[in-house]
Chain A
């Protein structure tokens, strides 16, 4: 019989093979949330489909016209049916995933990058920097998001590239505020003081000691923000200011389907579902990430 092993915490940790790193701790908590894991897998699948779309679509999304089947309902030949011009809706949805994901990801990435840099600068240096940056954010906040986007599109002209710029600009202040708050909280902690006392430069302190502390908040917000951005980009296309026909953008497809609602409701239902399911997945993923990364959640 094996000797009784006293299960001290230290030994338990050793038995698990390694000390728990922040990464494994995150994974342990995230894994428990089945819905978020499923949403994450769905997002992954969606990204793969979006990247591979040009090779896997059954028909050309813009230039294939099946004139015998105008407004035809879903069938084995056309899984999601055919639109008023005879185009295969399934192919258009797949190609649209490319546009929506790219728009959502690119705009939030740009917004997060600039917002994080500004937030770090504002929080770390405080004083004059802080006032200028936060005042600029207040002004941006003074415009409701989509209004700001419409204003920018009115200046730059329509089109998906300008929509991405517009959505990116109004993502900046939210990230800046978030990161600034975290930076302010971190910079007075002892380990930052220690780093400064051994002569670390501002750059080292920000990049190696403060920035890692803000990552989890940024990651959570990133995921939630992609959902919002996809909706905003689709809304602008729906208003006729984003992607122009015949581009298979989901919002633009819905706009085009509006006049055919009586005869071909499926032409509206599938793009609407595509937006809903995609945004839902990002939101569920974001919720899961937050629950796994936020220490406050533990006690609930």
Chain B
């Protein structure tokens, strides 16, 4: 098992390096001179040159790349052009709200989504299936920002049950995490259903039934383990979706998180912040996929020993 994890970690190295290179090149792909951007619109040519030297933009590209990597390793992404604060501080301030929001969304959406999926597969083509799948196809078709606005209008504005914006108490988390998780729950439900439907038709399930096991035990003990394998992969992919979705949801609920930081940074062309956030989001995504791969190995020994 350890060997498997080590192999997976090693396999990540090239991807990480390429992602780092792309994020680094990002600044140089931006239209216009990054030194000019950093110095501000009214700067004199001398100031621009000073800034260029200060940021190390006068050196050769490979040299800059090494400096960039060195900075990343030491958690130093430079200063924000907008607030003049360290990018790492900006990110640290905004990290937790986004982290909790993503985590709660994932927890409820995976639980509910898988439950709906299993129920739909067991009662295939009967009413629980029809209700579940109608909900699910609606869930993947309703854009998160529209859902957020509707939920806020109904529960915060009309009924006054929940707060509208901010992230101060657990009550603030309800609507944003419902909004963010809805699409994931829908995708998980559809995916779990099709995975279970496949498995429930297999011979070994018939054998389990034939030897007189009751249906709950067949589903939970026999079908679950095999049906979960593709579902776990799907779950990992959905984390990326949540990270992306949080950007939109944070704008709707004025959430003090990383997504809004990114949107503001893009508006202001605050490239050190954009660079750091894109890198951070990708890193998270890659790490989550690693965890998923390891989980995969835990569930399915065939993969582990290949």
Using an 8 Å CB-CB cutoff, how does the interface string of B229-248 with A read, 1 for contact, 0 for none? 00000000000110111011
Q: B144, B146, B244: which has the most chain A beta carbons within 10 Å?
A: B146
Residues of A in contact with B (beta carbons under 8 Å apart): 135, 138-139, 142-147, 150-151, 153-155, 157, 227, 231, 234-235, 238-241, 251, 254, 258, 261-262, 265, 268-269, 271-272, 275-276, 279-280, 283-284, 287, 296, 299-300
- Known interface pairs A151-B26, A157-B31, A261-B157; A144-B244 also in contact (CB < 8 Å): yes
B195-221 CB contacts (< 8 Å) to partner A? 197-198, 201
B30 near A279 with CB under 8 A, answer: no
Q: Complex formed: what's the CA distance from A280 to B139 in Å?
A: 9
- Known interface pairs A145-B240, A155-B31, A239-B247; A275-B281 also in contact (CB < 8 Å): no
- Known interface pairs A144-B240, A268-B149, A275-B143; A280-B137 also in contact (CB < 8 Å): yes
30 example contacts (A-B, Cβ-Cβ < 8 A) are as follows A135-B15, A139-B19, A139-B22, A142-B15, A142-B282, A142-B285, A142-B286, A144-B243, A145-B241, A147-B243, A147-B244, A147-B247, A150-B262, A150-B266, A154-B266, A154-B269, A155-B26, A155-B29, A239-B247, A239-B248, A239-B251, A251-B145, A261-B149, A271-B146, A272-B142, A275-B146, A280-B141, A287-B137, A299-B201, A300-B124
Residues of B in contact with A (beta carbons under 8 Å apart): 14-15, 18-19, 22, 26, 29-31, 124, 137-138, 140-146, 149-150, 152-153, 157, 197-198, 201, 240-241, 243-245, 247-248, 251-252, 262-263, 266-267, 269, 271, 274, 278, 281-282, 285-286
Q: Which residue of A lies closest to B270 (CB)?
A: A154
A262 near B157 with CB under 8 A, answer: yes
Q: Which residue of A lies closest to B136 (CB)?
A: A283
Q: Complex formed: what's the CA distance from A241 to B251 in Å?
A: 13
Q: Tell me the minimal C-beta distance from A218 to chain B in angstroms.
A: 19
Q: Which residue of B lies closest to A136 (CB)?
A: B18
